[in-house]
Structure 1
């Protein structure tokens, strides 16, 4: 009796499909799916804390475009040599569909946009970010599937059973096209699937945040900072495994330094944050009073 064992993880044969002249990109679909999932979770969690679900929609309106711009800016700044210099095309810096969104820039500029929105509304920021944090890291996990379709964010060659096979891809003219082409079936490398490691880690942190929030009734930004600490802890070690091109500072990737700095900051903030959770009146006084009035009327 023979037993067949699956050897290695295959990459998708392509990451782009065409509906007539319209490109359908797996990378974009993964990001949009992640956003929808984060919104669904965030709305439920914010309303459970006493907040108006409409506030989550307002936050999405400002945070999503800000996050895309911030993510692209971070990528272009940290990988500037891909777009600027002899033989480079600076206009490619605006080609978001070609891949390249830095999560740090997306979170930072997106968070800034939400902070400005909440200041405008006169509402506290922490309850909203605490409600959104678990959904955000789950969305990051879904987004990492886009890296699988793009054959990017991988580690060193390996012969482990879960190695990722990278395929040689070509366009219709037979030219090498790693992002937009279709696989020829030729395996050009078998590498550590660091995108998968991060995906699994993000799902674990999602579960940790949900459990800790329910068990200890976290509030006042603690869920947010626990998210930052958990994510950056794993990202630090995953960055050490990656071998794709990146700018270095003192021999380490830029993202490795950013992960370490943000981890330390997040741990300090978790320890310094006020214990307990905000009351519904603290989260959104107007919405809370409206709900109470509606209960009495019924």
Structure 2
């Protein structure tokens, strides 16, 4: 079974997101924990969470993925920015325990004028401060396009970061197809080679989720501009092959494609389900 979903608005709560997902034949979903540009998180309603658990169980909604705000940068050389990142991470991970055994995705951060090695140390220090032994949430470090001073544009940077985290059993990786393509990894022409490299450097056991996006850019452009499935440079066949690959097919896939309405995601999900090999 293909576990696939898309990014949904969390404004109306968990139950509403689950119902929206089911309405487009999705079996999972992703959401921002708060405004993607930062700010205060909406208070969790226990009744909504209880209703969500019941509905999700009845309708086969699989493990879901929360996404940290884009403004999160624990690698910053500005203490105020780092303090904000620590506050959000600690608060979000605490809130995630209202829906145990889920996943929380974050962009690792940007070096902003520092050496990458220094930035990696700062990100690891932040994770060492907020990760707790008893937490059930798995924090996913997202593969990035290598735009500007982003950390995570290479598998080696992710591996170096994970190595510095004490509670690394709480860490995984979310592979974004647009990002790795823009970073230079040829997932269309040599998917096996890319996965072999990831396995050798990071370990495929760390891969817990995939952001399934086409790219408006040529490979290696380092620009990060998502396209709808089959409307970009990666192409439908290559992305369908990602969902069918024996080393990836059991992972959950999340669409972050530029759709203004749910119907657009529904169309993409239907095409990808139709391309699913038994």
Q: How does the TM-score come out when normalised to structure 2?
A: 0.22
Q: Determine which structure has more spread, i.e. the larger CA radius of gyration.
A: 1
Which protein has the bigger helix share?
A: 1
Q: How does the TM-score come out when normalised to structure 1?
A: 0.20
Tell me: higher relative CO, structure 1 or 2? Use CA pairs within 8 A at least 6 residues apart.
1
Which protein has the bigger strand share?
A: 2
